A and B are shown apart, each in its own frame.
Chain A
Amino acid sequence: MSSVDEVTSGTKTGRVKRRLTSRGATVAALVIAVVWTIPTFGLLVSSFRPAELIQTTGWWTIFANPGFTLDNYADVLLSPSQSSPQLGAYFVNSLFIAIPATIFPLTFASMAAYAFAWMRFKWVNALFIFVFALQIVPLQMALVPLLQFFSTFLKPGQQWLHSVLPMIPVQNYLPIWIAHTMFALPLAIFLLHNFISEIPNEVIEAARVDGATHGQIFWRIVLPLAIPALASVAIFQFLWVWNDLLVALIFSGGTQDAAPLTQRLAEMVGSRGQEWQRLTAGAFVSLVVPLIVFFSLQRYFVRGLLAGSTKG
């Protein structure tokens, strides 16, 4: 390498940068980025266009056929018509399903992960491998028997609750919460165990010498130390539940009592597949939460997603 080259190209990374980014590669990257963004962009633009314009002109002609409206959003969110229930109710359902369905499995999983990592018993390791191996069971294998189980054992409880508190419908969130909690456990236990088992031995031992019980160690030491791992797993689980369709279809009952946004949207595609003013706005209502999470917590999001990529 000549010294002239050295001087003109500056730092080490600058040098590598010059070599690796040719013009052709930049153009190719730009093309991919644009192609990847256009479908979402088209939907976003269309959601703000009046219905007649969406139906008669392409969204890319927006400058030739200008038109801006918030009616689509007002319509899907607030319209009082009984035949097409507004998405507001489903949005509430999605939120009220996803938050507990994140907290419940994370709590139980971190308890189990602590036990597997720090309580010494002969058969504990074998049990951990067994729980770990449960990841190979696809969700689909659990659905039919679990639904039968719920309708035998959970349904009477739901009916009793409805008779005591009439404002809580028979078809409440309970089965969806429990189902999501069950399906989340193997992966969450595995991921949290990886983290919790790497807490330095001295920390735990010091607490034990001071007379701390397992409950105290878990609450006061392990959980605070595990917050980064908990955050990643929580974000992954929250988005998984928010975006889920399959579990909701089977356990929610399908009415606005408990069904989440995804289920309602999938239904709208089937029954109102041509009403693009509703579908575009509705889709964006459901995309808002994941996109906010994505852009505000990108670091945790990527980590959680990579960690959780084998779930399902």
Chain B
Amino acid sequence: MTTADLIGKILQFGMGLVIFAAIVGLLIFFIDKAPKRGRDYWQLVGFLAPALILLAIGLIYPAFRTLALSFLDKGGDFTLDNFVWMFTQPAAIRTLINTIVWVALVPTISTVLGLAYAVFIDRSRGERIYKALVFMPMAISFVGAGIIWKFVYEYKSAGREQIGLLNAIVVAFGGDPVQWLQADPINTVLLIVVMIWIQTGFAMVVLSAAIKGIPTEQVEAAQLDGTNAWQRFRNVTVPGIRGSLVVVLTTISIATLKVFDIVRTMTAGNFNTSVVANEMYTQAFRASEVGRGSALAIILFVLVLPIVIYNIRVLRAQREIR
């Protein structure tokens, strides 16, 4: 980076902020100076217009356009080939299967681990540090997490000293080192491990807060009845946090369906590890198969839709109770 480049960037940054401030300032100025007749109406328009225009260009129009593109071939004629391709070509079917495996494993395992961890550390000494350690992966990028774990899975040929932790353990127990990220089907599982590593912290924090919301009296009453720890967990804790469990499971499911960065960084979708979101990018922006990419985006929408709606309904119900 030369000094001129840097000056150019600072100039962009500064100009961007100044122009933005000027636009907002002028907008609010004119809102207050709106003509007396229909002033309320003009003020409403002034406050809403920036957001609504951006949403119209950035989400509403593109969503319909993508829907249309998924039914068009390269010549612009109507076709169902994009969807036929998705459900008939082995590589595309594998992408769908992988996505289902992801969404079956990540939410359940993350939630179980997060819940167990939250229960184990509840009211223990150093609870905050325990929480920070497991929650930390939520702060970093999927790309960073991908690099961290790619290093764990690193492979050196047999006989040389292993620098990847996983192969070092395998070799220490007398096994042969494996090229993990190229070994189908274990490679998909290993990518899933990365997502679980990230999402467990989220599950843990939400569920920990929910556990603290269970009245102490209920736990003590169960103790007086002579229950053991497992019975208390089953009959007091789990029913007490059911709503949060649903939110955690659905939220992680949505994030998992859209997972892109991990696959892109670690294998780029090679070796039969691709998922829908990654394949959408590859088809639309690498292979110039806009129709197929759009069809995959539609599939993603269809998969996410019921979960999002359910999630929002649960969240709203919880908010009303509070």
Q: Could you tell me which A residues sit within 8 Å of B by CB distance?
A: 1, 12-13, 16-17, 19-22, 25-26, 28-29, 32-33, 36-40, 42-43, 46, 54-60, 85-86, 88-89, 92-93, 96, 99-100, 103-104, 107-109, 111-112, 114-116, 119, 121, 124, 127, 131, 134-146, 149, 165, 167-169, 172-174, 177-179, 181-183, 185-186, 189, 213-216, 218-219, 239, 242-246, 249-250, 256-257, 262, 265-266, 269-270, 273, 276, 279-280, 282-283, 286-287, 290-291, 293-295, 298, 301-302, 305-306, 309-310, 312
Evaluate contact between B11 and A245: CB separation under 8 angstroms: no
Chain A neighbourhood of B220, CB < 8 A? 16
Evaluate contact between B161 and A56: CB separation under 8 angstroms: yes
Residue of A nearest to B141 (CB): A243
Q: A124-B44, A136-B308 are in contact. Are A141 and B298 (CB under 8 A)?
A: yes
Evaluate contact between A305 and B13: CB separation under 8 angstroms: no
In the assembled complex, the Cα of A55 lies from the Cα of B130 at a distance in Å of 32
Evaluate contact between A280 and B151: CB separation under 8 angstroms: yes
Q: Is B281 at the interface (CB under 8 A from chain A)?
A: yes
Chain B neighbourhood of A43, CB < 8 A? 147-148, 151
Binary flags per residue of B16-44, CB closer than 8 Å to A gives 1, else 0: 11001000100011011000000011011
Q: A167-B11, A279-B147 are in contact. Are A111 and B255 (CB under 8 A)?
A: no
Of B10, B69, B297, which one neighbours A138 at CB under 8 angstroms? B297
Evaluate contact between B254 and A312: CB separation under 8 angstroms: yes
Distance from B67 Cβ to chain A, minimum over Cβ atoms (Å): 8
Residue of A nearest to B216 (CB): A16
Q: Count of B residues near A, CB < 8 Å? A: 120
Chain A neighbourhood of B142, CB < 8 A? 243, 245
Evaluate contact between B281 and A249: CB separation under 8 angstroms: yes
Evaluate contact between A33 and B134: CB separation under 8 angstroms: yes
Q: Is B102 at the interface (CB under 8 A from chain A)?
A: no
| Nearest 10 A/B pairs, CB to CB | A182-B58, A243-B141, A89-B1, A115-B47, A167-B8, A145-B62, A145-B65, A294-B139, A112-B51, A29-B120
Of B130, B261, B305, which one neighbours A246 at CB under 8 angstroms? B261
Q: Is B205 at the interface (CB under 8 A from chain A)?
A: yes
Can you identify 27 A-B contacts, CB atoms within 8 angstroms?
Answer: A16-B219, A29-B130, A33-B133, A36-B134, A37-B136, A40-B148, A58-B163, A85-B1, A96-B13, A103-B20, A104-B20, A108-B50, A119-B47, A131-B55, A136-B308, A138-B258, A167-B8, A181-B54, A182-B58, A185-B55, A214-B31, A269-B265, A290-B141, A302-B205, A310-B308, A312-B254, A312-B255
